[in-house]
A = this chain, B = another copy of it.
Amino acid sequence: MTATLKEFLEACETLGLLRLIVTSSAAVLEVRGTIQNLFYAELPKGRYANLHQELYEFHLNLDKIAQVKFETGVAKRGNFTTYAIRLLDEQGESALSLFLQWGKPGEYAPGQVEAWQALKQQYGEIWQPAPMAAL
C-alpha cells in the first residue's frame, strides 16, 4: 500500500493505549499514551508530527523515517506476546517504537490486537512510507 507516514500515524489512533519508547545512546524513555490530535510543523531540520498531552509530548521528524516494521515478541516478564511498530531511521535503528500497552500482563483491551493486525495487513510487515509532497 502506498501511504505517507502522516497517514499511517493518524491510523495509529485505532491502536488505543500504547507504550511509546524513544532510545538515545544511553537512555530509554517509555510512556503510556495514545496517538491522537497530532499537529504538524515544518522546521529547517524536517517536517514534524507533534503530540502534546498534559503529561507527555513527542516530536517526530517524518523525513527521517525510512521504514516501518510490525514486530511481535515475547514479554520479558509474563511470557505473553508483545505487538510493536518500529519506526526505523536510515540506519535501520528504531527512532520510535510503539507497543500495544497491556493492562494486567498479557491482557490487551478488546479490539486492540485486531487493530494492530489490521494495520499490519493493510501496510505490510515492513514498508517504506511514500514521500510527502506537503504536510
Which A residues lie at the B interface, using CB under 8 A? 20-32, 54-61, 64-65, 87, 89, 91, 93-96
Q: Which residues of B contact A91 (CB under 8 A)?
A: 25
Residue of A27, A54, A58 contacting most chain B CB atoms (<10 Å): A27
Looking at chain A's contact residues, the main secondary structure is strand
Cβ–Cβ < 8 Å partners of A61 in chain B: 26-27
User: CB within 8 A of A31: which of B31, B89, B94?
Assistant: B31
B64 touches A28 (CB 8 A): no
Q: A22-B23, A23-B22 are in contact. Are A28 and B93 (CB under 8 A)?
A: no
Residues of B within 8 A of A60 (CB): 26-28
